Amino acid sequence: MRKVGLTGGIASGKSTVSGMFRDIGVPVIDADVIAREVVAPGSRALEAIVDAFGEEILTEEKSLNRTRLGEIVFSDPAKKKVLERILHPEIIAEQDRRLRDLEREGRTPVAIVDAAVMIESGSWKRFDSIVVVDCDESQQIGR
């Protein structure tokens, strides 16, 4: 099975392109969906995030307060790196597990992983091909 990475900047059209692949029956693994799953209450990743950033990043229901965490990490590049060191391995491991499952099922000749920071994280090396979605800045702003 051919493994294809799909990446691009914010508002570049990745979701549109991944939707086109889905429409023709190609399985698409969405890193954003996985990123939410790996921080579910009780998960290893959430525990590590709490250890790194404190209980203040939890809601009353003990789930991740994304807004609060965003305020912390987007104001401090070092803290953003700490978060990435926690999340990226978890997200990549789950992507790989899903790719292995698809390969084992043998029902598709190709599968797509849609991930915005594939190049920056170095995870692009795992793929047979990379599709980079790009558009004019004016189009990005319009989205």
Q: Write the CB contacts of 35 (distance below 8 Å, at least 6 apart in sequence).
A: 87, 91
Q: Which of 130, 125, 53, 56 is nearest to 87 (CA)?
A: 53
Q: Which pLDDT score is estimated for 140?
A: 65
Strands 129-133 and 28-30: unpaired
Q: Which domains does the chain have, with CATH numbers?
A: 2-142 (3.40.50.300)
Rounded to the nearest integer, the mean pLDDT of the chain is 94
Cα–Cα distance, 124 to 95 (Å, whole number) = 12
Tell me the pTM. 0.89
Cα–Cα distance, 18 to 114 (Å, whole number) = 7
Cβ-based neighbour number of residue 81 at 10 Å? 11
pLDDT at 142 over 70: no
Residue 112: beta bridge partners?
4, 28
Q: Which pLDDT score is estimated for 120?
A: 84
Strands 110-114 and 129-133: unpaired
Residue 133: beta bridge partners?
8
CA distances to 10, 41, 78 from 58, rounded to whole Å, are: 26, 10, 20
pLDDT band at 121 (very low <50, low <70, confident <90, very high): confident
CA distances to 40, 74, 134 from 8, rounded to whole Å, are: 26, 20, 6
For the stretch 33-58, pLDDT in tens is 999 999 999 999 999 999 999 999 99
CB 99 within 8 A of CB 110: no
pLDDT at 79 over 90: yes
